[in-house]
Chains A and B, each alone.
Chain A
Amino acid sequence: MGKPTNVTNSIRALRFSANEMTQAGLADRVDMTRQTIIAIEQGRYSPSLEVAFKIARVFNVPLDEVFHYPEESSSTATSAKK
């Protein structure tokens, strides 16, 4: 089964670079459950924009350093411009 969202993230790496912050620690900081942080890290849940900003703020980085969305293919991008 494919992942339900195309949004990927670097939360795991950011947690490790932030003094190995635990999932529970991050959950407490953004007022979410640990299970939701796990689901976000595994790509099983895309958080709301508000929670995404909160997570980015915890690591003190811009939003697009935390969450990534794949680039559109060139043909799609070209047809969209027409």
Chain B
Amino acid sequence: MSFEEKVTWVNTVTTVIVVAIYAWVVGGQIAENPVADIAYQTPMLIAVGAIIGLTIAGVIAMAIGTAISAEITGEGSVDDIDRKDERDITINRRGDLVGYYVSSAFMIGALAVTMLDYAHFWIAHAIFAGLLVAGLTSSVVKLVVYRRGY
């Protein structure tokens, strides 16, 4: 598995875990309170920060692990960590393109929700969901293409 593919895995797993925790924390309040009273802002900002921070931490940990593993087992090389070739770049582009389409669809949805005068809670979550789903879709496309080839 190339380093770029590992980075995609780290990002995907981190996003899924953070979103699950966010949904548990905020989603659980929907049934009990009016959405206007739900303080989603801080958890949402923490979730965004956590996805970025944990992904960076995960990539650093993985780079260190890869370097140690290369030294001990002799398989692979420290050079592999920052090596990115045309295949990685093309796969990234493909994933990002699909993510862009998904993001665009969600933004149209967010626009519609805004025009229909929904609460800020729903507008913010339409945008948040768009970013998350686009990111996850992009990552899944990349992982599938890495495995299946093209």
B86 CB contacts on chain A under 8 angstroms: 32, 36, 47-48, 51
How many residues on chain B are close to A (CB under 8 Å)? 17
Flag if B2 contacts A35 (CB, 8 Å). yes
Question: In the complex, what distance in Å separates the CA atom of A22 from the CA atom of B88?
Answer: 21
Question: In the complex, what distance in Å separates the CA atom of A65 from the CA atom of B96?
Answer: 35
Of B5, B84, B148, the residue contacting A4 (CB under 8 A) is B148
Kindly state whether residue A33 has any CB partner on chain B within 8 Å. yes
Q: B-side interface residues toward A, CB under 8 Å? A: 1-3, 5, 76-77, 79-80, 83-88, 148-150
Q: A-side interface residues toward B, CB under 8 Å? A: 1, 3-5, 24, 28, 31-36, 39, 42-45, 47-48, 51
Name the distance in Å between A55's Cβ and chain B's nearest Cβ. 12
Flag if A4 contacts B80 (CB, 8 Å). no
Residue in A closest to B3 when the chains form the complex, CB atoms = A33
Residue in A closest to B83 when the chains form the complex, CB atoms = A33
